[in-house]
Structure 1
């Protein structure tokens, strides 16, 4: 193989006055920002949907199930294109123009990735709630809690402990799924990866660096949530092990 290795190219100056290593660092920053912001949305919306799907209300269950069925069965990149190109045409014209001209691409990408991941987290939260003994709900009601208070103070705190390993996997996946946002103009890590290859043709070096960067980001999230799992573990409660993959 007559490949010419050149690790020094990372420190060569580009047309914009930056170095290629600066492009990598910038991409890593955008990837982190998109992923963490989308994860916050996914946890909030996914938790609400997970609770809705375990309530006695058939209407709430139907709404939650419909959401999960739609968002889990449409590819992420198609959903992003829907948010960027289709939704602005379906809303009132003034709102559509605002979405196309003034709303930052970052916000739309975060919403798209967050709502996609929320459908997956909703499944985890629902499973965690259903895994609890029914007596916990009845005990909460007997203490005078309303149905929603039993979720807030009794059922959800325990359900999160049960599904934390699965949530760890989703948190790691969101860093990898964020690569799709390059298709709608987000200057994240994969976008910079493609740019650097086009500019330099140093495919192997940049591929190794980007691969290691994704690994470090996902592994850091794995270790953080693994630490949280250990600190919040209830003695005698089986949670399925630390740090899902």
Structure 2
């Protein structure tokens, strides 16, 4: 068979292996780093008087980009305490990372966005684009709490672009964002991480068993062969 055939077969096998890999169970380290970097930028734009605070966010973001182990796995195994063991991550930063892992949001980032660019904050809600977010701000809606109240008191229905289906979708999204079910999400993440850890341990045990089954020179017993008929005495 041609080399091209074997190359194609190899590519297909690789793709199949990747397709069987477990899906991500939470935000990647790069995504978490982007969140911290954005928060540092927002603090600077707000006029944060403490430069060391901004530097802490930037250093933690750089650390996460270089971190080999997914932070979400560390969190699933040890909670916030495990995050504080990362270089440059204190209690406050660990709380922000945990919030994003659990809820996909950080309260401080939302507040900074609300004061700096409320339209950008509203546009983080799935289904709300930049143009619609700008109309919401013009209507006096600047925070997610404002948006939730407007979704239930009838004001959203009066804004162009909010039909019945989009209004219901916005209510569901806001309920998901603002609800207090973080503990359920945390337990789900922990279960998923525990499942992945069990798979990894089983594979490591299988590899160790295969390694131990290969005999080494120390394991081979050297047999002494004696002649059946000893030579006659001279």
Query: Do they superpose with TM above 0.5?
Result: no
Structure possessing the higher radius of gyration over alpha carbons: 2
Higher helix share: 1
Higher relative contact order (CA 8 A, sep 6+): 1
Q: TM-score, normalised by structure 2?
A: 0.25
